[in-house]
Amino acid sequence: MRRDDPVRVAVLGCGAIGSLYAAHLARVPGVEVWAADPWREHVAAIERDGLRVTGQADFTAPVHARTHASDLPRCHLGIVATKSLHTADAVTAAREALADAAVVSVQNGVGNEELIAGVLPRVMRGTIVTAGAVTGPGVVRYDAPGDSWLGPFEPRPAEPGEIELLARLLNEGGLRTHAVADARGPQWTKVVFNAATSPLSALTGLTVGQVCTDPALRAQVEVLIREAAAVCAAAGIVLTRDPAEAVEEAIREAFAHKPSMLQDVLARRPTEIGVLNGGIADEGRRVGVLTPAHDSMVALVRGLESSWEQA
C-alpha cells in the first residue's frame, strides 16, 4: 500500500453494529469503506444515498455496499459484524477480499474468532458495547454510546500495528476505541452481561431495563452473572468491570433497549444463544465449573425456537 492510497476497510454485516462501524469509519479522511449484507433494499439505499446515522449522532457517510461479499475489492482491514450463525459463510465468501487483511470480530458471544481464523490468516478479538438498531434501508439509529476494544486473537494474531491502525481510525471517526494486549477481558465482560440479560428478555418480551428492575428476574440475572464470573475466574479471564455496574448502567442509559436476541425472537429468527450462554457453558465444562443456569437458558431458548418450526 502506497502512502497516498486509501485504507480500504471491509465490513461484513450491516446490522446495527456493522452499520455504525461502517458509517463512522467512512467519514475519516483517507478511508474507503466497503460493506456487504444480503438485505438488498438496505444495500441499495446505502450505495445510492450513503449510510445515515441518527440518534446519538446525525450524519450521512459515503459507503460502498454490495449484497455479496465475493464482490468486495481487496481490503487492508476487515470487520465481521454478522450474526454468529453466518460467520463461516461470510468470511469464506470474502476470502479473496480479505486474503491480506487483518480482520476483527465485533460479534456477540465467543467462538467467532476461531471460525474466522480457520479461513483468514490474521485475526483480532474485538468487542463493542454501543447499542443501536437499523430503522430502515440505509438508516441506523445510534441508541447508546460505548467503547470498543481491539486485541490479538492469540492463535493467529494480527500485527500490533494493524490493531493500532484500526483503533486509531475508529477513534478519528467518533467511536472511542482501545487497542489492548489482551482483549479477552472486555470481550467476556460484554458476554457476561449479555448472557445474563438477553435470554431473559427474549423469553419474556421485556426490555433490558424491565428485566433488570423486576425483582424475580433480577435474581435470575444475578445467578447467571455469578456462574459466568466463576467460569472467568477459573479460565484466568479478568473482567474489565463489575457486571453489576453494567446492569445499573443499562437501567439508567438503555432501559428501553430491546437486545438483539429479543429482536430475533420477535422476528422468529434463530438466536445467538449458542455463543452467549452456550459459550459460557462450554468454557465452564472446559475449566470444570458447573453452569446449570446457563444450560437452562440454552434449553429454554432453543425450545422456543423449536416451537416455531412446529407451529
Q: Which residues, given as ranges, of the chain have pLDDT below 50? A: none
Q: Which residue has the cell 465449573?
A: 289
Other beta carbons within 10 angstroms of residue 10's beta carbon come to: 27
Q: Which helix (H) or strand (E) holds 289?
A: none
Are the beta carbons of 108 and 84 closer than 8 angstroms? Answer: yes
Cβ burial, residue 147 (10 Å; 0-12/13-18/19+):
middle
CA–CA separation, 157 vs 179, rounded Å?
A: 13
**Cross-strand partners of 103:** 78, 123
Q: Which amino acid is at 89?
A: D
Per DSSP, what are the bridge partners of residue 19? Answer: none
- The pLDDT, as a whole number, for residue 3 is 54
Residue 176: per-residue pLDDT = 95
Instruction: Determine contact, residues 63/22, Cβ cutoff 8 Å.
Output: yes
Single-letter residue type at 199: P
- The predicted structure's pLDDT at residue 311: 59
| Grid cell for residue 134 | 437499523
* Residue 181 DSSP one-character state: S
**Residue among 174, 161, 179 at smallest CA distance from 7:** 161
User: Domains in the chain, please, with CATH?
Assistant: 7-179 (3.40.50.720), 184-310 (1.10.1040.10)
Please list the residues that pair with 133 across neighbouring strands.
Answer: 141
For 232, the grid coordinates are 472467568
Q: Annotate 58-93 with DSSP letters as a single string.
A: -EEE--EEES-GGGPPP-SEEEE-S-GGGHHHHHHH
pLDDT, one tens digit per residue, over 189-204 is: 999 999 999 999 999 9
What's the confidence (pLDDT) of residue 4? Answer: 66
Amino acid identity of residue 111, one-letter, is G
CB 100 within 8 A of CB 76: yes
Predicted TM-score of the model (pTM): 0.88
Helix, strand counts (H, E) of the chain = 12, 12
CA distance 238 to 308: 38
Q: What per-residue confidence (pLDDT) applies to 66?
A: 98
Q: What is the pLDDT of residues 14-67, one digit of tens each?
A: 999 999 999 999 999 999 999 999 999 999 999 999 999 999 999 999 999 999
Residue 126 in 3-state DSSP? strand
Q: Around 121, how many Cα atoms within 13 Å sit in the side-chain half-sphere?
A: 9
> For residue 137, what is its C-alpha cell?
434501508
